[in-house]
Amino acid sequence: MFRILFYLVFILSVALASFGIILSSRLRNNSRSEAFSTLLYYQVFILTFGFYGIWGQVLIKTFLGSYISSEALNRFSNIALLMGLPFLVFAWLVLIQFSSGLSGRKNPKWFVPGFLLVNFAILFLLGYHFSVNKAGNPSILMRYYFIIFNVVYSLFASYLIHLSGRSRSEIHEHDKRIIAPFISLISFLLSALLVFYTDQQWLALVFIFAFFLGNIFLPVYLSYGTLVTVLNPEPEEDMPFEEFCKKYEISPRESEIIREICNGLSNKEISDKLFISLQTVKDHTHRIYIKTNVKSRVQLITLVKEEKLVK
């Protein structure tokens, strides 16, 4: 029974990884933003680590466990994990770059070489420790290395998403409030699973499934849960939206509400910003839906985007 579950999780891992790569490639091709290119790199690096560093250990223990000693088995397994850690370091790097780009920020020029220098120095120390400390258990040290740095860099990435740079953000403020905490939440979930892991095979499979599922959250959400900014606040970009309002007989007040909906504001936030009651916002929104023949905010934003692209 466990072997069947093992193969099922492996197949799901391959499927999730392929899905994440496909969605990231589509986002990069459909957007001019460099942020979505780094998202694709992040998917490649983190999923490569998943197969090389995580599944590599599982496959070594599964298929070589009956043929070599436990000491040699652990050594091969630890080497596989150590060799996979550089992919993890690059994944953390591009996650931070992606988060900066998403919020319209640029990292200083020294950031990339400094980040790589510090992290590869840590990997060198880990490798040196393994080579001289024969009696210890390297897998435990590497486990806590993953837990600590994955949490730290995930929290840093979440923090960067909340910040606003000089350039316009690639996503709405509403989406920032969803993406940032989810990045941290996924990191904490994976860390909790590793903390409680003590060689239970079923928990290892749960961790692997959660790892692959959690790391495709970004391309899935950015593909199906949100839209990139569709309204440019600069005056020369206003004419297509004015024509959109004329086409659907949108009133000036309704046009203001459409703008704020496209900026990611909730009904309550629109009410506070425009100094009108919450019920008035709901009434205007209902009439906008009827005029444009849509049923939700996402459909309305999609319609505005499509009309804007046509002009």
Residues 256-265, mean pLDDT to the nearest whole number = 88
> Residue 298: pLDDT above 90?
no
pLDDT exceeding 90 applies to what percent of the chain?
Answer: 39
Which range of residues forms the domain containing residue 169?
Answer: 2-224
**How far is 107 from 198, CA to CA, in rounded Å?**
39
**Predicted local distance difference test score (pLDDT) of residue 135:** 53
pLDDT of residue 85 exceeding 60: yes
Task: Examine the domain organization and report whether 163 and 298 are in the same domain.
Answer: no
Tell which wins on pLDDT, 10 or 71: 10
pLDDT recorded at residue 169:
66
pLDDT at residue number 309? 44
| Whether pLDDT at 214 is above 90 | yes
Residue pair 283/254 in contact (Cβ under 8 Å)? The answer is: no
205 shares its domain with 242: no
Are 100 and 106 in contact, with CB atoms under 8 Å apart? yes
Residue 34 CB contacts under 8 Å (≥ 6 apart), including other chains: 101
Q: Are residues 133 and 32 in the same domain?
A: yes
The tally of domains found in the chain comes to 2
Please answer whether residues 61 and 45 qualify as being in contact, where contact means their C-beta atoms are separated by less than 8 angstroms: no
pTM: 0.70
Judge if 145 and 78 occupy the same domain. yes
What digits encode the pLDDT tens for the residues 195-207?
Answer: 888 777 888 889 9
- pLDDT-derived band at 111 (thresholds 50, 70, 90) equals very high
Residue with the bigger pLDDT between 175 and 308: it is 175
Q: Are residues 87 and 30 in the same domain?
A: yes
Q: Using CA atoms, how far apart are residues 308 and 300, in angstroms rounded to an integer?
A: 12
Whether residue 26 is predicted with pLDDT greater than 50 in this model: the reply is: yes
* pLDDT tens track for 126-137: 877 777 765 556
Distance CA 65, CA 74 (A): 10
Residue 5: closest CA among 214, 216, 206, 211: 206
For position 12, what pLDDT does the model report?
A: 94
Structural domain contains residue 271:
yes
Contact (CB, 8 A) for 87 and 119 = no
pLDDT of residue 167: 55
Whether residue 238 has pLDDT greater than 50: no
Instruction: Output the six-digit token pair for 44.
Output: 């490649």
* Residue 74 neighbours by CB under 8 Å, 6+ apart: 139
Same domain, 129 and 277: no
